[in-house]
Amino acid sequence: MPHDTPLIATLVGAFVLAFVFGAIAQRLKLSPLVGYLIAGVMVGPFTPGFVADSHMAVELAEIGVILLMFGVGLHFSLSDLLSVRAIAIPGAVVQIAVATLMGMALAWGMGWGVGAGLVFGVALSVASTVVLLRALQERRMVESEQGRIAVGWLIVEDLAMVLALVLLPAVSGALGGRTVATPTVEWLGGDNVWTTLALTLAKVAGFVVLMLVVGRRVIPGVMHWVAHIGSRELFRLAVLAIALGVAFGSAKLFGVSFALGAFFAGMVLSESPLSHRAAEETLPLRDAFAVLFFVSVGMLVDPSIVLKSPLPLLATLLIVLFGKSVAAFLIVRAFGYGNFTALTISASLAQIGEFSFILVALGADLELLPAEGRDLILAAAILSILANPFFFLILDRYRAKAAVPKPAAFAPAGPPGKPDEKPTASLPVTTQQAHTVLVGYGRVGRLVADGLLAAGVPFLVVEDQEDRVDELKRAGIETIDANAASPAAIAAANIAGARRLILAIPDGFEASGVLRKARQLNPKLEIVARAHSDAEVEHLRQSGAEFIIMGEREVARGMLAHVLGIDAAEVAAEAEADGVQAYAAPAPPESGSAAGGASGTATAIPSQASAPIPVPDADAPAGAVADAPGMQTAAPPGLGLAETRVAAQKENP
């Protein structure tokens, strides 16, 4: 068996070192991206020891970019994209022009020609897809107004770079570089820049029309057909085939980037009910290959450039971190948006990435850009990616500070004609006491909220998805429009004075962050959470949750109770005898609490929550028992079937 396996060696070296240095960075309270970049430098050709195949690493990293943009497209619709065109198109064009001029000025100061300055400036003007989206996803901002503007801005930059990559060979000779023949243009009988530009625009337009007319019918139809087959393996394979196939086909047939092709594939699939499942299936691969992107960036960097050209490198970095950011801030403010939106776009663009690498490689190949220019771009890329998380930390602090309630007399007025920006709006503290705080208004959260309303339990909801917030407000439910993990949201929900916290968000590990902060403010707070695995259950238990519901377990109990036709108490007893228990952490007894049950088995929830919660028949969760005609009574959080039966009988003797 051959042992010369560069693909395996590259993957193993990249993943192992990325894990080691990423864990160290996390331990030092830095972004794991710092560790991934350092891992790339360690396996690159400019440091001693093992050297990975940089060309192969770059290609593997493209898979991460494709899956990342496909995932973003799944959360976008055409209307979302069109809603920000008024700011994204002119804003991105002006920002690219300003950054290019700054880059050309620096190149002129270093004695380079116009061609080198143009390539250098354009390379500095475009931000990295991966870095931008990772920052927005960490803050759950992709679907916010700021996130939509940033992604729309990104798409415009992507299209601009496609044009630049196509036009550069055509104008290379005129700019002082190597003359390159363009076969497609010659075949059409043209030999000038305008013919090349017209052809490129026609191909991009053809791709967009094809995706919006044909793709919107074919792609969702294929996914629905695969879903009805019932094979999860085929469904996952279909998602990957569509994401990678459309991205590759669009690049080969229409000349657009992999990222743009994948984004449109995701966007046309977003109109299907299967979009959320598709996003879940691609998540593990997306994260893994996104790590390879940062490793590949580190591999390209020659650390000696810091000593060879310190001043040019500093000037280049200042353009990327501050020149572009200030330009973007002023542009966004000029369009009438508030400070938070302007700062978000500024922080998002304060870095450079994959398109810059492609552009400088092409510029060097065309003999337009000197080797020093390439090294400066690559070094500025890794340094700007390292610095970018700190920009977002500053943004987070600004958002938290802006969220502190202000007296109405001193509250600044927003720009005329523009709606108030969500993150900068003050979060007034609720007047409720001894209430229930419900975090999340998805499928589970809706059912819980309906039940609490029907039972007359005072509660409020913490939710940051704009459409859900609007729905809650229309229903007259008190809502805190913010991320539940933010200090401002926790303060506004009056966790210190609350009776209980219900974490209805699906990610147990994400919920634990909210849980810990709430527990610090209110040690006696009753906390109910949901989980999907034993690992999540244990994590939530250690974080301080008292009642943990594992959905799959309750579904199984409900099925057994129905199929076997036996009392629910017998099902629960037999399940517990086999080691399948309801999860509840021991809690100190409180007045109004119902004690009972074996150790480790959930019992009744204190006070108001111990009452059964009526929910519609069609949506009744597993583990429900019969109540009034057309209704069922769902088990209160933490209750097994036996306890639910008892509660229902007491309520309806």
Confidence band (pLDDT; 50, 70, 90) for 424? very low
- What number is the average pLDDT over the span 517-536? 85
Superfamily classification of domain 436-651: NAD(P)-binding Rossmann-like Domain (3.40.50.720)
Confidence band (pLDDT; 50, 70, 90) for 133? confident
pLDDT of residue 193: 64
Q: Which amino acid is at 244?
A: L
pLDDT of residue 466: 66
The Cα–Cα gap between 384 and 316 comes to 10
More confident residue, 116 or 1: 116
Residue with tokens 């997306």: 286
Q: Do the beta carbons of residue 165 and residue 358 sit within 8 Å?
A: yes
Backbone angles phi, psi at 216, to 5 degrees: -65, -20
Give residue-wise pLDDT tens across range 572-619: 555 555 444 444 444 443 433 333 333 333 333 333 333 333 333 333
Q: Do the beta carbons of residue 290 and residue 297 sit within 8 Å?
A: no
Q: Where in the chain is the domain with CATH 1.20.1530.20?
A: 6-402
Confidence band (pLDDT; 50, 70, 90) for 645? very low
The Cα–Cα gap between 163 and 201 comes to 8
pLDDT of residue 157: 85
More confident residue, 352 or 425: 352
pLDDT of residue 105: 94
The Cα–Cα gap between 54 and 44 comes to 7
Handedness of CA 590, 596, 601, 602 (dihedral sign): negative
Q: Do the beta carbons of residue 298 and residue 382 sit within 8 Å?
A: yes
* CATH topology for the 6-402 domain: Na+/H+ antiporter like fold (1.20.1530)
Q: What angle do CA 619, 623, 629 make, to 5 degrees?
A: 55
pLDDT of residue 618: 36
More confident residue, 585 or 627: 585
pLDDT of residue 75: 66
Helix-strand-coil split of the chain, %, nearest 5: 65, 5, 30
The Cα–Cα gap between 589 and 213 comes to 62
Give the least confident one: 159-168, 391-400, 425-434, 626-635.
Answer: 626-635
- What number is the average pLDDT over the span 336-352? 87
Residue with tokens 């625009």: 201
Q: Where in the chain is the domain with CATH 3.40.50.720?
A: 436-651
Cα 84 from chain centre: 19
At 218 the three-state DSSP class reads helix
Give residue-wise pLDDT tens across range 62-80: 887 788 778 777 766 667 6
More confident residue, 391 or 608: 391
Mean pLDDT, the chain, integer:
76
The Cα–Cα gap between 12 and 478 comes to 51
Backbone angles phi, psi at 188, to 5 degrees: -80, -5
Which residues 6+ apart lie within 8 Å of 184 measured at CB? Answer: 199
pLDDT of residue 2: 56
Is the pTM higher than 0.85? The answer reads no
pLDDT of residue 624: 37
Give residue-wise pLDDT tens across range 27-61: 887 778 778 888 988 888 888 888 888 788 878 87
